[in-house]
Amino acid sequence: MSKRDFIIGGIAILILFSFMNLSYPKEVEKIQPKQIVQDIEIKENSGKAIEHESEEIAKLKKENQKLKDYIQLVEKKMHQDDFNKLKAITESFYQKTQNLLIIIAVLIPLLTLLFTWIVQRSQLKLVEKKQEEILKLVEKNQEETLKSVEKKQEEALGQIREEQKEIRWIETLKQKVEADPFLQEKASIEVIESIGEHFSNDQGKLAWELYGVGRYFDRERKHEQALKHYQEAERKECKDIGLMLHVHQSIGVDYFWIGKSLEINNQTKDAIKSYKKAVKYYHKVIDKDPQFAEAHSNKGITLIELGKLEKNKEKYKEAIACLDKVIDLKPTNYDPYYDKARAYSLLNQKDNGIESLKHSFRLAKRDEIGDLLKHLKDDIKDFESIENDKEFIDLIGRYKEK
């Protein structure tokens, strides 16, 4: 290494120390870098001129050695200071970290408790809100149920009064008919009109009397005679809409039973005509009162019979639509589900047929199960597509045991 390299290295170290603000011995402070450089350069130049002056060379080496010693001392001092600073920083960081950990250790349980309290409070409010909603809903349902029950009670009482009135008319007419052999034999509209004079000449009341006699003949299963009286009541042009709905409904029912009788006697064409007339009168009732469940039901049953005679599957689909309307109006009745089972079976829709039949049995009361099984026996031909199905057999067997 040349003398110039030593000089440059020393200058670099001194500059570094000046930037780091490090302390160094007073001896080093006395050294003037610029002076040293100038002296060394002068002596170097002199050495070149007088290479043989060993004394000057020896002094220069001595100064270089002194500079090396000071450099080593400065480096040692620098390392010690850096270590102390690093140690101080590390201890400070450790202390701060310890304090932070203590704060965190205290805050975590408090924050957990606070969060738990907030969650529980929000859940409690939610529960209270739900309870209020449920109470309001219960109160509303209770009010609606009470109103519905009261309305049904009024309707039932009104129906009972009408039925009692009708029964009284029928009993009066029956007594007159039974008391007179001539009337028993004739039992015609003229007879009723003559009896009607006993009540009133009012056309509305006479229509009611004719309707009452028709009901009497229906109970006696004399549907053609009943039909004549209903038709005569229809011609009276009574303004009582409720009465006319029942008159048209009864006309439809009589046309159905007349068609059934014709079908049994293999008079298929006449049976079809009678069934179609029945459907026509059910339409009249439904047009005036779409909520008349019995008319929808009877229309559906009649369409099933028409479908069988005409071999028309579309009639079965129409019947199912009618019976669905009955279910909407009277969801607790078993009859529409039974007739839907017939229609589905005739359409060869086995799963729907069995499912509808299950609904029918579930809704039937204990004293209605026997009637349902009897209907099933009478209509077994309608169930040909499912009668050998295991689920169908098990279902019938289960209810037969009951």
Over residues 369-382, the mean pLDDT reads 89
The owner of tokens 């017939």 is 342
For residue 287, give the nearest of 251, 248, 260 by alpha carbon.
248
pLDDT at 303 over 60: yes
d(CA 210, CA 226) in angstroms, rounded, equals 9
For residue 42, the number of C-alpha atoms closer than 13 Å in the C-beta half-sphere is 6
What is the model's pLDDT at position 129? 81
Domain ranges of the chain: 1-162, 180-236
The lowest-confidence range among 64-68, 97-101, 106-110, 185-189 is 185-189
Backbone angles phi, psi at 180, to 5 degrees: -125, 110
For residue 174, give the nearest of 160, 189, 190, 192 by alpha carbon.
192
Report pLDDT digits (tens) over 179-232.
544 444 444 444 444 444 444 445 667 787 788 888 888 888 899 989 998 898
Are the C-beta atoms of residues 296 and 319 closer than 8 Å to each other?
A: no
> Taken in order 377, 378, 384, 385, is the CA torsion positive or negative?
negative
Share of the chain above pLDDT 70, in %: 67
Average pLDDT value over all residues in the chain = 77
What is the model's pLDDT at position 346? 95
Over residues 246-273, the mean pLDDT reads 94
Over residues 336-356, the mean pLDDT reads 94
What is the model's pLDDT at position 164? 67
What is the model's pLDDT at position 213? 82
d(CA 96, CA 117) in angstroms, rounded, equals 31
pLDDT at 44 over 70: no
The lowest-confidence range among 103-112, 241-250, 354-363 is 103-112
